[in-house]
Amino acid sequence: MNRFSNTSSSVVEMPLRTLSDLLYQSLALAIPNQLECRSIVQKLLNYYLQVDLADYILNPLCTISPAVQKNILDGLDRLKKYEPIQYVIGATYFLDNLFKVTPAVLIPRPETEEWVTFLMRHLSPPTSILDIGTGSGCIAITLKKEFPEALVDALDISKEALGVAAYNAAQLGVAVHFIEADILTDPLPSCNWSLIVSNPPYVSMQEKSLMHPNVLDYEPHLALFVHDDDPLLFYRQIIQCAVRHLCHNGILCLEINETLGKKIVDLLHCANFKQIALYKDIRQKDRWIMAVLKHKPNI
């Protein structure tokens, strides 16, 4: 990286592929997977230089100002400490929409994109939606864009996360009502929804040792982990809330820990849900459950 530095006061010009190779060589020890490393370098350059995939073929000469040099090298230092690229550049895509992300929110995952896509393709338009544990707002906002006539509420315990979600909703031009509440202790508003969705904390504490530093050291533990002595805590509470607040024939969709699928199906059966379906993700792991509340009990 001797062609430019954090303290450079001069403009540097070099072919895009040369710059990409220099960054790749600098990151290769921290990110040994070649494809992942190349992808991260591309995202870094796409963000700071506004280049796209076609530019890597055309190999244009890049003009790099001192400010951009500093940003790229600062980003490189953060990546070498295993900070996720999404936090370094402060944004990521979720189903073709760009979302702001900060360490206050989980980084949206492809597995979540998968079941949200499934919902959008297979559901009749819901009239109202509640997203529990909204984080960046990616699920609630995406569903609102797909079903613009639906009233959408999104709940989270974190004020910081709700600030990020509200920013994303404003940037993407949709109206979502955000609620600061703890699903474990606070009552929901006195209304019903036709669709309730949630990607709750579901990683057990004992799974920490299996996690990579880029997740464990940077993403919010509040949104990731549940205590080993009660791994079904959030699912049980969300199902109870859904029984009270879903409309007749309302749908509940939950992202799940792959090890808990059968137990969550049992909880749903006991709570009077019907048409319970457990779905696998692209890696053939149990990843989400959908169920219909056929008959609301007298509560």
5 or 76: which leads in pLDDT: 76
Closest CA to 243 of 196, 202, 277, 288: 196
Q: Is the pLDDT of residue 2 over 60?
A: no
N- to C-terminal Cα separation, the chain: 66
228 or 286: which leads in pLDDT: 286
Mean pLDDT across the chain: 93
According to the model, what pLDDT value does residue 214 have?
Answer: 77
C-alpha 211/C-alpha 228 separation (Å) is 16
Q: Is the pLDDT of residue 210 over 80?
A: no
Residue percentage of the chain with pLDDT more than 90:
82
Average the pLDDT over 147-156 and give the result: 98
Q: Is 252 exposed, middle or buried (0-12, 13-18, 19+ CB in 10 A)?
A: buried
**Domain covering 104-293 in this structure, CATH number:** 3.40.50.150
Q: How is the chain split into domains, by residue range?
A: 12-81, 104-293
Least confident of 66-75, 198-207, 258-267: 198-207
According to the model, what pLDDT value does residue 204 have?
Answer: 81
Q: Is the pLDDT of residue 208 over 80?
A: no
According to the model, what pLDDT value does residue 149 have?
Answer: 97
Q: Is the pLDDT of residue 241 over 70?
A: yes
Do the Cβ atoms of 233 and 254 come closer than 8 Å?
no
According to the model, what pLDDT value does residue 167 have?
Answer: 98
Q: Is the pLDDT of residue 259 over 70?
A: yes
Do the Cβ atoms of 286 and 271 come closer than 8 Å?
no
According to the model, what pLDDT value does residue 206 have?
Answer: 82
pTM, two decimal places: 0.91
Do the Cβ atoms of 154 and 137 come closer than 8 Å?
yes
Do the Cβ atoms of 95 and 113 come closer than 8 Å?
yes
Q: What angle do CA 36, 279, 105 make, to 5 degrees?
A: 50
Q: Give 223's pLDDT tier (boundaries 50, 70, 90).
A: confident
Q: Is the pLDDT of residue 232 over 90?
A: yes
